[in-house]
Amino acid sequence: MRVLGIETSCDETGVAIYDSEAGLLGDALYSQVAMHAEYGGVVPELASRDHVRKLLPLVKEVLAQADTRPEQLDAVAYTAGPGLIGALMVGASTGRAMALGWGIPAIGVHHMEGHLLAPMLEPQPPAFPFVALLVSGGHTQLVQVDAIGEYTLLGESLDDAAGEAFDKAAKMLGLDYPGGPQVARLAEMGDRKRFRFPRPMTDRPGLDFSFSGLKTFTLNTSNDLRVDGELGDKDRRDIAAAFEEAVVETLAIKCRRALQQTGFKQLVIAGGVSANQRLRDRLELMVKKEWAQLFYARPQFCTDNGAMIAYAGCQRLLAGQQSDLSIQCVPRWPLDTLEPIQRRGADVK
């Protein structure tokens, strides 16, 4: 089955073609980061308009890249949620219209399921069951994954997601949007032992997260060090290092607990923050101690992209699922409400 995937949930327009036999045939992405950086964050209306401008040219580019004609496609998959409603509507309406015009089925895909399954695009994918850490700008969740669609929420952030905390810390340090990569780059030059930031909710049982207190601690630390309202370069580097260390260690502690609680020996990390090298290194050390394995997607498939939507949609289409002619987008959509499509141990394509 050959599927065109469309991702327009926020500020990146992603298009890809995935074939269940041949794998990923084409992939293209347009990022709106430069446009939104002027405003310090995503402006929903501007995001929607830019998706309108960029989506069809990207579809044409990917079709040419994959040497595929529309009549060779078997289906269209598009992100139906969660995300910004205007941005979602652009991808959903365009994907639904193309599928109708080409006489093929279409399916709305859960954005976070796409992230969760992105490591399946790698040469050595994980096998079910596994624990997944979904960590992005809008989500921080630990999920037990028994099969595609069989998800049990183990823990989640009670306030800010880790990615949001990174962005807010970046603003405190005077860094540009998007903040996460900026903080990580600055942290590489910092002294990680100068400050000891709190590891929120690690002193109590459970798998939930909270990063609002860490954000406040970062603000107070930076304010205490300001001279005439300005932070010195060394202070900024050291605060970035201490902040990143606190987030990474908190995530690692909770992931270890999740592995021990489930008894699973495979950990998947997915979402934009999963590209953070410090997090990957820390989790690699942790899983070795737990006699487990760590899996993640290549960096370009950690952030929003069309390949993960094409893959996730293909799996559900192969199971006989498809969306009706109505265009339905869900800005808030719990992952554990999705319909399962296969039992544990079943193969995926």
Please give the annotated binding residues for substrate, written as ranges. Answer: 134-138, 167, 180, 276
For residue 194, give the nearest of 154, 223, 229, 234 by alpha carbon.
234
User: What is the separation of C-alpha 119 from the centre of its chain, rounded to a whole number of angstroms?
Assistant: 11
The answer to whether 183 touches 173, Cβ cutoff 8 Å, is yes
Counted residue by residue, the chain has a size of: 349
Name the CA radius of gyration of the chain, rounded: 20
Show binding-site residues for Fe cation.
111, 115, 304
Q: How far apart are CA 234 and CA 239, in angstroms?
A: 9
Binding residues, as ranges, are 111, 115, 134-138, 167, 180, 276, 304
Query: Which of 60, 55, 53 is CA-nearest to residue 78?
Result: 55
Of 82, 77, 74, 132, give the one whose Cα is nearest residue 112: 82
Do the Cβ atoms of 107 and 18 come closer than 8 Å?
no
Contact 307, 19 (CB under 8 A): no
Q: Quote the CA–CA distance of 199 and 223 in Å, as a whole number.
A: 20
